[in-house]
Amino acid sequence: MATAFGSQFSALRGRRRERWSDLSPMRKREAKFGFLFIAPWFIGVLLFALFPFIASFVLSFTKYNIVAPPEWVGIEHYEHIFTDDPLFLKSLKNTAVYVGGSVAIRILLGFGLALLLNTKVRFLGLWRTLFYVPSVVPIVALSIVWLYVLNARAGLLNWFLGFFGISRIRWFADPDFAMLAFLIMSTTWVGVTMVIFLAGLQGIPEEYYDAAKIDGANMAQRLWRVTIPLMTPTIYLNVLINIIGAFQVFTQVFIMTGGAPRDATRTYVLHLFDHAFQYLPPQMGYSSALAWILFMIIFAFTAVIVASSQRWVFYQGAED
């Protein structure tokens, strides 16, 4: 059977070569123009993605301050990061807290909102739009708005908590609450997660729910036995997207606190940014090493999730 398949594949490959060789001059001309049209994309990938990717890896083994040529130092930066950089572990811990909290918030809240907005309620389109719109607002503008919402004296959130007898919280001045403030702010981007979940919910055939109702399953049982198993591919996608994005949190921290108070909100990318652009002289080689460590951390998390997905992700129509 393998021999037959190999011969069929060879014949198919030969026919494809023959078809290309038998193309008319006009068709070959069209193909050349097609390659010409996609050439800008290839050039962009090479110049703005692949080349910086390789260059940062090489620079991570050098001492480079932009002004002077790079000086090779080997693994000195990596040794310093793990032994003599106290802010490395601090920023990594803060980032881990943000990743765990924000991903959990977006997954749970996004899934809950998607369930609600997948029902027949009045003004359904309006509610979907209202929940999604904050996700497309520029992050700089959102950061300014949240500075007012989380203001210790006249902030909207403290005003709301006052109705429950909770005293004013100094969100960005108290190290115990500063990171919690950013976790609250992360609810702003739940709209993207909600839309992906909503698309997944609308792709579940009604026949499964009808069969569950015939078997006597109540709403909670249908959710646990039908909806969640069939939504595992969408959950898997959302977890991956949110983890990768959360590890790279930077803009709102840079604008709102700059890592204060007492480095309680210093995230990993902010620490990397400071070495590259805030310190004098710039430490581009050191920041490149930090960037590659972050890349390996994200890669490890992604690899674990992808490898474990075979155990908990269920695809409709897939064979056991």
- Please report the pLDDT score of residue 317 as a whole number: 64
What digits encode the pLDDT tens for the residues 155-208? 999 999 999 998 999 999 999 999 999 999 999 999 999 999 999 999 999 999
Give the model's confidence band at 33: pLDDT under 50 very low, under 70 low, under 90 confident, else very high: confident
Summarised one tens digit per residue, pLDDT across range 8-27 is 445 445 444 546 667 778 88
Cα dihedral sign for 108, 149, 159, 259? positive
Q: What's the pLDDT tens digit per position in 48-88?
A: 999 999 999 999 999 999 889 999 999 999 999 999 999 99
Mean pLDDT of 107-130: 89
- For 231-268, b/e burial (b = at least 16 CB within 10 A) is bebbbbebbbebbebbbebeebbbebbebeeebbbbbb
Contacts of 196 (CB under 8 A, 6+ apart): 110, 234, 237, 238, 241
Q: Which whole number is the average pLDDT over 117-135?
A: 86
How confident is the model over 93-121, as a mean pLDDT? 94
Per the CB < 8 A criterion, the answer to whether 128 and 209 are in contact is no
Which pLDDT score is estimated for 9?
44
Percent of the chain residues past pLDDT 90, beyond the cut: 73
Task: Give the start-to-end residue ranges of the domains of the chain.
Answer: 83-312
Average pLDDT, integer, range 206-228 = 92
Predicted TM-score (pTM) above 0.95: no
pLDDT in tens, 231-269: 999 999 999 999 999 999 999 999 999 999 999 999 999
Answer for the pair 146, 185: CB distance below 8 angstroms, yes or no: yes
- Looking at domain 83-312, what is its CATH homologous superfamily? MetI-like (1.10.3720.10)
Q: Among 102, 92, 96, which Cα is nearest to 242's?
A: 102
Q: What pLDDT is recorded for position 20?
A: 61
pLDDT of residue 128: 86
* Percent of the residues in the chain that have a pLDDT greater than 70, as a whole number: 92
Write out the E strands in the chain: 62-63, 71-72
